[in-house]
């Protein structure tokens, strides 16, 4: 890091720009409160890192100085090499922010982690021309619901299977399309979990600890019969010896392929159909999200393109509201 006669800093890293006098002064004058003696050893490196990255990250220079200085002093106290490449390794950043968990609020801990990781990414580009690492998560790609014809075909196919295969297929479809259960919830469901006070009343899943979940009307009778048959046993694959396994549902679907060109049975597609069906019925999105175990109604936006627009007559009726 070099300093011109007018006080402006220039990082020695490639592609860096000359900083303005105000930013340069803040960097050169920075000193942590109650700085330990080791500050003088790491201060030049802290200032160099901040000078090299301050124009590449969307944070105030004071915040960067505070975060990078804290990391550097922690690394020095823990015997790490006196080198920004060592401090800014992912595992070192995580260890540092976790050590602050008892001092900072949880949101502040996450904020520190984000700041330091952005500094690391910016420094990798500035120093070696490396691009910012890609985000290691897949884009939102929800399951495509079955069409009404596909769902009817699968239900017809399932109802004509024999013995336990028929029971398993209908339980899988009913719990997925009728209740929109997660795989682990589906696997854990026993006959006694499905309750109906008396004929004509909704069929409730009493084993789900969230907003009361009622079965869709078109699946009530079939699920009630399966529940009565199962009693205290699991509805799906009752002879299994383990409560749940990752391949419990997938392996069954793989071994039992529908005929007549029907698509494979997928719990993900059944659950997506449950969501879209309720959205098409104009059910409150907050209620749908709670019943589906979602954090908020915002997660339903990915399905909105599957919901047909209202016709004019329905739109007018809804906008008009109830007469006074």
Q: Higher model confidence: residue 28 or residue 105? A: 28
pTM higher than 0.75 for the full model?
A: no
> What pLDDT is attached to residue 213?
85
Q: What does the pLDDT look like over 246-255, one tens digit per residue?
A: 889 999 999 9
**What domains can you pick out in the chain, each with its CATH number?**
2-128 (no CATH), 148-320 (1.10.443.10)
Q: What does the pLDDT look like over 98-137, one tens digit per residue?
A: 888 777 776 778 888 888 998 888 877 555 544 555 554 5
Region 138-142 average pLDDT: 58
Tokens found for residue 206: 């009493």
State the Cα–Cα distance between residues 40 and 256, nearest whole angstrom.
69
> Could you identify the residue written with the tokens 């003696």?
37
Cα dihedral sign for 153, 156, 161, 164? positive
**Phi, psi angles (nearest 5°) of residue 234:** -65, 145
Q: HSE on the CB side for 95, CA within 13 Å?
A: 13
> What pLDDT is attached to residue 314?
87
* Percentage of the residues of the chain whose pLDDT score is greater than 90: 47
The rounded mean pLDDT for the chain is 85
Cβ–Cβ under 8 Å, residues 295 and 322:
no
Q: What length does the chain have?
A: 324
Tokens found for residue 299: 């997660």
- What are the residues facing 220 on neighbouring strands? none
State the Cα–Cα distance between residues 23 and 11, nearest whole angstrom.
13
> What pLDDT is attached to residue 15?
46
State the Cα–Cα distance between residues 279 and 271, nearest whole angstrom.
13
Above 50 in pLDDT, residue 284?
Answer: yes
> What pLDDT is attached to residue 217?
93
* Percentage of the residues of the chain whose pLDDT score is greater than 70: 89
**Phi, psi angles (nearest 5°) of residue 103:** -105, -40
State the Cα–Cα distance between residues 56 and 95, nearest whole angstrom.
24
């Amino acid at each position: 890091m070099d300093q011109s006669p007018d006080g402006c800093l220039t990082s020695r890293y490639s592609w860096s720009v000359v900083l303005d006098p105000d930013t340069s002064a803040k960097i050169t004058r920075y000193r942590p409160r109650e700085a330990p003696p080791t500050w003088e050893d790491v201060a030049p490196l802290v200032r160099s890192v901040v000078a090299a990255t301050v124009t590449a990250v969307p944070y105030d220079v004071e915040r960067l100085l505070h975060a990078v200085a804290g990391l550097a002093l922690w690394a020095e106290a823990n015997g790490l090499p006196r080198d920004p490449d060592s401090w800014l390794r992912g595992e070192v950043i995580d260890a540092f922010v976790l050590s602050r968990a008892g001092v900072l609020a949880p949101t502040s801990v996450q904020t520190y982690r984000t700041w330091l990781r952005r500094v690391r990414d910016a420094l990798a580009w500035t120093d070696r021309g490396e691009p910012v690492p890609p985000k290691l998560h897949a884009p939102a790609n929800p399951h495509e619901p079955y069409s009404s014809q596909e769902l009817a075909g699968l239900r017809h196919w399932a109802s004509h299977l024999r013995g336990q295969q028929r029971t398993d297929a209908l339980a899988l479809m009913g719990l997925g399309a009728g209740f929109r259960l997660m795989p682990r919830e589906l696997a854990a469901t026993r006959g006694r979990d499905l309750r109906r006070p008396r004929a004509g009343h909704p069929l409730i899943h009493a084993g789900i600890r969230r907003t009361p979940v009622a079965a869709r009307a078109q699946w009530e009778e079939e699920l009630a019969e399966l529940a009565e048959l199962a009693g205290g046993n699991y509805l799906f694959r009752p002879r299994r010896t383990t409560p749940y396994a990752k391949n419990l549902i997938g392996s069954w679907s793989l071994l039992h392929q529908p005929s007549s060109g029907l698509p494979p049975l997928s719990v993900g597609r059944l659950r997506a159909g449950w969501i879209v069906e309720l959205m098409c019925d104009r059910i409150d999105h907050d209620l749908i999200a709670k019943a589906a175990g979602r954090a908020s109604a915002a997660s339903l936006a990915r399905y909105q393109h599957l919901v047909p627009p209202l016709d004019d007559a329905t739109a007018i009726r809804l906008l008009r509201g109830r007469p006074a």
